[in-house]
Amino acid sequence: MNIGTIIDAAAAGDPARAALIIDERVINYGELAAAVEQCAARLADRGLAGERIAVIDLGSVLSIATMLGAARIGAAAALMNPTLTPPELQGLVENAGCAPVGVAGDAYIDRLLEAGLPKVFTAADMLEGGDACAPLPAEDVDDRDALILFTSGTTGLPKAIGISQRRLSARITGITTPFRVDTSPTVSLMSVPFFHVGGAIGVLGNLYAGKTYVVQPRFDAGEWLRLVQEHRVTSTFMVPTMLQRILDHPDFGTTDLTSLATIAYGAAAAPVALVRRAMAAMPDVGLANVFGQTETLGAYTTLLPNDHRDPNRVASVGRPLPGVEVRVVDPHTGIDVDAGAVGELWVNTSQNVSEGWLRTGDLARQDSDGYIYPSGRLKDTINRGGEKFGPIEVEDAI
- Please list the ranges in the chain whose pLDDT falls under 50: 381-390, 393-394, 396-397
Does the CA dihedral 174-180-184-188 come out positive or negative?
A: positive
Distance (Å, rounded) from C-alpha 66 to C-alpha 37? 9
Q: Do residues 73 and 49 touch, judged by C-beta distance below 8 A?
A: yes
The H or E element that residue 66 is part of is helix 61-72
269 within a domain of the structure (yes/no): no
Instruction: Please indicate, yes or no, whether the overall pTM of this predicted structure exceeds 0.95.
Output: no
- What secondary structure does DSSP assign to 84-129, as a single string? S-HHHHHHHHHHHT--SEEEE-GGGHHHHHHTT-SEEE-HHHHHS-
Return contacts of 280-284, CB within 8 angstroms, 24+ apart: 281/247, 281/252, 282/257, 284/258
Tell me the residue length of the chain: 398
Q: Which amino acid is at 257?
A: L
CA distances from 232 to 9, 126, 187, 213 (A): 24, 32, 7, 11
| Number of domains forming the structure of the chain | 1
CA–CA distances in Å: residue 357 to residues 45, 296, 324, 366, 376? 40, 11, 11, 17, 20
Distance linking the first and last C-alpha atoms of the chain: 50
Three-state DSSP class for residue 174: helix
CA 300 to chain centre: 13
C-alpha to C-alpha distance for 14 and 220, rounded to whole angstroms: 32
Residue-number span of the structural domain to which 71 is assigned: 1-13+26-171
Instruction: List Cβ neighbours of 385 (8 Å cut-off, separation of 6 or more).
Output: none
In 138-257, which residue ranges form alpha helices assigned H by DSSP?
Answer: 165-175, 197-208, 221-231, 240-248
Q: What is the pLDDT of residue 382?
A: 42
State the DSSP string of 374-394.
Answer: EEEEGGG-EEETTEEE-HHHH
* Residue 7 falls inside a structural domain: yes
Q: Domain for residue 144, yes or no?
A: yes
Asked whether residue 328 is domain-assigned, the answer is no
Taking alpha carbons only, the member of 235, 121, 21, 321 closest to residue 113 is 121
β 76-80/52-56 pair status: parallel
Beta bridge partners of 287: 263
In whole angstroms, give the CA distance from residue 318 to residue 283. Answer: 20
Question: Is residue 362 situated within a structural domain?
Answer: no
Q: Give, in order, the Cα–Cα distances in Å from 21 to each of 65, 126, 135, 369.
A: 14, 20, 27, 42
Give the pLDDT score at 394: 44
pLDDT number for residue 245: 98
- Can you tell me the distance from the alpha carbon of 245 to that of 238, in angstroms, rounded to the nearest whole number? 11
Please state the φ and ψ torsions of residue 253, each to the nearest 5 degrees: -70, -20
63 within a domain of the structure (yes/no): yes
Q: What is the CATH number of the domain that holds 121?
A: 3.40.50.12780
Distances 300 to 44, 145, 176, 294, 352 between C-alpha atoms, Å: 35, 21, 15, 11, 9
As a whole number of angstroms, the distance between CA 300 and CA 251 comes to 34
Tell me if 240 is assigned to some domain: no
Does a structural domain hold residue 200? no
Q: How far apart are CA 359 and CA 355, in angstroms?
A: 12
3-class DSSP assignment, residue 269:
coil
